[in-house]
Amino acid sequence: MLEADGFRIVTSDTSTGGELAASRPPDAMILRMGVPDRYGIGLIKAIRRWSAAPILVVSARRSEAHQLAAFDAGADDYILTSFSAPELLARVRAALRFHARGGWLPTGVLELDNLSIDLSRRIVRQRDGRELELTRLEYRVLEALVRGRHRVVTQAKLMTEVWGPDSGKSLELRACVSSLRKKLEVNPSHPSRIITEFGIGYRLVM
């Protein structure tokens, strides 16, 4: 399927995947995660020591703990094996686009539809120049989402970055995200920018 879409493919099993990726650095990696998954998690961690290339995990396991382990190890996306061909291709293209842009640059300005987000200056504006007023906590949540945009940012990571370690402020986080949506979304009841990944965290979509 990927080859038919113009991609060049190199395959490997988990035991030699790290060596092959190091010798022939790929633009993106798709990792089929099976049982046991400790080899896959270890491979993600090993690759992340030297590569920022997108890693997309494909797995039949739906458990929150399994998905969190993959994201915490450094995966960029987690795709259940019930995916359709167009969905997988779209996710690969999105991961490659984000990586090609070099991720979030702290001194840059992120354009989001009709919004301009400059977190280095802590300013969010509408295209008409009107500045949106965000609270300190809203800025910090938005900054964490921007740094990890197109990737799932776990609730634990958001709470740690905004409130500090061992905060456990899940209710406050949900309230803050809800408030951000009211200010940033075109239709807050059907968000298209700050997407909830149930049981895991949130994803900022451009």
Which CATH number goes with the domain that contains 183? 1.10.10.10
| Report field, pTM of the whole predicted structure over 0.75 | no
Contact 30, 60 (CB under 8 A): no
Nearest Cα to 91, choosing from 103, 82, 81, 79? 79
Q: Give the number of domains in the chain.
A: 2
Sequence-separated (6 or more) residues with CB below 8 Å from residue 4: none
Residues 79 and 133 in one domain: no
Distance from C-alpha of 72 to C-alpha of 49, rounded to nearest angstrom:
13
Contact 185, 193 (CB under 8 A): yes
pLDDT tens figures, 146-158:
877 667 888 888 8
Which residue carries 């450094």 as its tokens?
Answer: 74
Residues 63 and 136 in one domain: no
Residues 122 and 194 in one domain: yes
pLDDT tens figures, 102-150:
554 444 567 767 778 876 677 888 877 888 888 888 888 988 888 776 6
Residue 3 tokens read as 């080859």
